[in-house]
Amino acid sequence: MSTMTAPAADWKDKKRYLWLLGIVVMGLPLYGYGLVQLTGLSLFWWTSPIVLYLVIPALDHLIGEDDENAPDEAMTRLNADGYYRWAVMAAIPLQYVTFVWATWMAMTGDLKWHELLGLFISAGIVSGLSINVAHELGHQTSKLERWAAKIALAPVAYGHFYVEHNRGHHIRVSTPEDPATSRFGETFYEFLPRCLKGSIVSAWEIEKKRLEKKGKSVWSLENDNLQAWGLTVAIYGAMAIWLGWLALPFMLFQGLFGGALLEVVNYLEHYGLKREKKADGSYERCQPHHSWNSNHLATNVLLYHLQRHSDHHAYPTRSFQTLRNFDGLPRLPNGYAGMILLAYFPPLWFKVMNPKVVAHFNGDMSRANIKPEIREQVLAQYGRAPHNCARRAGPADAPTERRLAAIRDRGGCRRRFIFIQHAARNGVRDEEVALSGL
């Protein structure tokens, strides 16, 4: 599973104070403004994207992975420690300070276009990170934390996430019916509008059914969507009265950017993975191999262990500090921060991730969640059944092709997992096996 370095009685969370980074990053645009004033450099209006897209991936690469789990005996103590609860909730006040300041600065700061663009993206990134705060709080059982989740979602205008994620995505995850699960061959830019529309529709239908069972209208004030969206209307309205109607486009588009940041994380978390259908037409229970995981330390601290995603889906109400790493799970080659950059560039994303999906299914892509428009093409390339060995080779190098050919000659048309075992002994990487069609 992973290493445990001390007995339960002596074990301490080495990341205990690193979790405060989740509070610190909420002020990135403010720190950037301070650096602009100190240095006169407009570059620092772009502080948030510099940190998220460059600094965090670099730290992930330099620091590496952290696979330590708390001992089972320490879990109860760790879960009961109120420090972690308040470490997450304390991010919300700074989130609001940044949101109000950024909107005010956009309206009154007389910024050049590239400075305003940097401020907009920086504020949008903070809004995206605040959805992750709401994600952690929304999974808890106390009313205080659940209301705090709605409050965190209000500046992003993303209140439907509170409903759809918990009662939609976690039910349908890694199935074609889930709008928040990306499909093999689907670009992020195709996924985003499908996910946005599908998630809002899903959230509304979920609440409609819940309220109908209670004999109430979907327009009841008990509708969680209306409660969360109502907070957004109140905040945006107050800001518009104060700063003028031109504040509305800035607030809406920074919220949209924040929502897109959340959805690009959704895009990479279950890409191409699919739960099997049972004989009765229902799907198998969500298993650890239905999520992509990462142990890269910097992003895990930034996102409250979100990258330990398999354990999160197995135990949705488990607090972030107790989420566990397990061996043998689908792994991303970098932390989420680095993978976001790849997702923005589909050719790079497909080059890195498609071979990993193929290898995960041992080449039997009939088991994958494939973009419907290219499903037959993908199946024609990779096949439906593991016994079919006559696949078209991909762009592997010549030595690799010779080794794979030798494996084929020795193996005939036996099952594909035997090929992969042979390939491993001959020094062929999983990606090369997948590309070769084995």
Choosing from 344, 375, 402, the residue where a domain stops is 344
In a domain, 354, yes or no: no
User: Over pLDDT 70: what percentage of the chain?
Assistant: 85
Say what the pLDDT of residue 10 is: 78
In a domain, 58, yes or no: yes
Q: Are residues 168 and 214 in the same domain?
A: yes
Choosing from 317, 344, 371, the residue where a domain stops is 344
Residue 400 or 158, more confident: 158
Choosing from 292, 316, 344, the residue where a domain stops is 344
**Neighbour count for residue 428 (Cβ, 10 Å):** 21
Q: Are residues 178 and 261 in the same domain?
A: yes
Q: Are residues 340 and 380 in the same domain?
A: no
Say what the pLDDT of residue 436 is: 33
- Looking at the structure of the chain, the number of domains it has is 2
In the chain, the amino acid numbered 406 is A
In a domain, 38, yes or no: yes
Find the mean pLDDT for residues 242-251.
97
Distances (CA, A) of 49 to 32, 52, 54, 117, 390: 11, 5, 8, 11, 46
Residue 295 has pLDDT above 50, yes or no: yes
Domain containing 396: what range?
A: 362-436
Q: How confident is the model at residue 201 (pLDDT cuts 50, 70, 90)?
A: very high
Say what the pLDDT of residue 425 is: 38
In a domain, 425, yes or no: yes
User: Over pLDDT 90: what percentage of the chain?
Assistant: 83
In a domain, 311, yes or no: yes
Q: Are residues 219 and 325 in the same domain?
A: yes
Helix (H, G, I), strand (E, B), or coil: what is residue 184?
A: strand
Find the mean pLDDT for residues 94-122.
97
Q: Are residues 369 and 336 in the same domain?
A: no
In a domain, 232, yes or no: yes
Of 343, 338, 362, the C-alpha closest to 353 is 343
Residue 435 has pLDDT above 50, yes or no: no
How high does pLDDT run on average in the chain? 88
Task: Of 30-34, 220-224, 231-235, 429-433, give the lowest mean pLDDT range.
Answer: 429-433
Distances (CA, A) of 267 to 53, 196, 260, 263, 372: 17, 12, 10, 6, 16
Q: Please provide residue 271's backbone torsions phi and psi, each rounded to the nearest 5 degrees.
A: -50, 120
Say what the pLDDT of residue 7 is: 62
Q: Are residues 271 and 136 in the same domain?
A: yes
Per the listing, tokens 């080794």 go with 403
Q: Are residues 312 and 404 in the same domain?
A: no
**Neighbour count for residue 227 (Cβ, 10 Å):** 17
Q: What are 317-359's pLDDT values in tens digits?
A: 899 999 999 998 999 999 999 999 999 999 999 999 999 999 9
CA distance 342 to 350: 9
Find the mean pLDDT for residues 62-86.
93
Q: Are residues 132 and 64 in the same domain?
A: yes
Q: What are 35-60's pLDDT values in tens digits?
A: 999 999 999 999 999 999 999 999 99
Q: Name the token pair of 254.
A: 């920074």
In a domain, 173, yes or no: yes
Say what the pLDDT of residue 25 is: 97
CA distance 181 to 171: 12
Residue 394 has pLDDT above 80, yes or no: no
Say what the pLDDT of residue 8 is: 66
Q: Are residues 374 and 404 in the same domain?
A: yes
How does DSSP assign 11-80, residue by residue? Answer: ---TTTTGGGHHHHGGGHHHHHHHHHHHH--GGGGGHHHHIIIIIHHHHHHHH-B------GGGHHHHHH
Residue 438 has pLDDT above 70, yes or no: no
Q: Are residues 119 and 196 in the same domain?
A: yes
Say what the pLDDT of residue 434 is: 35
Distances (CA, A) of 225 to 8, 132, 228: 42, 18, 5
CA distance 262 to 267: 9
Q: Are residues 376 and 332 in the same domain?
A: no
Find the mean pLDDT for residues 228-247.
98
CA distance 163 to 159: 8
In a domain, 6, yes or no: no
Residue 117 has pLDDT above 60, yes or no: yes
* H or E element in which residue 204 lies: helix 188-213
Task: Of 7-16, 53-62, 149-158, 205-214, give the lowest mean pLDDT range.
Answer: 7-16
Residue 409 has pLDDT above 80, yes or no: no
62's CB contacts (< 8 A; 6+ apart) are: none
Distances (CA, A) of 398 to 394, 411, 412: 11, 20, 21
Q: What are 361-377's pLDDT values in tens digits?
A: 999 999 999 999 999 99
Find the mean pLDDT for residues 122-133.
98
Q: How confident is the model at residue 179 (pLDDT cuts 50, 70, 90)?
A: very high
Residue 381 has pLDDT above 70, yes or no: yes
Q: Are residues 323 and 416 in the same domain?
A: no
Say what the pLDDT of residue 395 is: 37
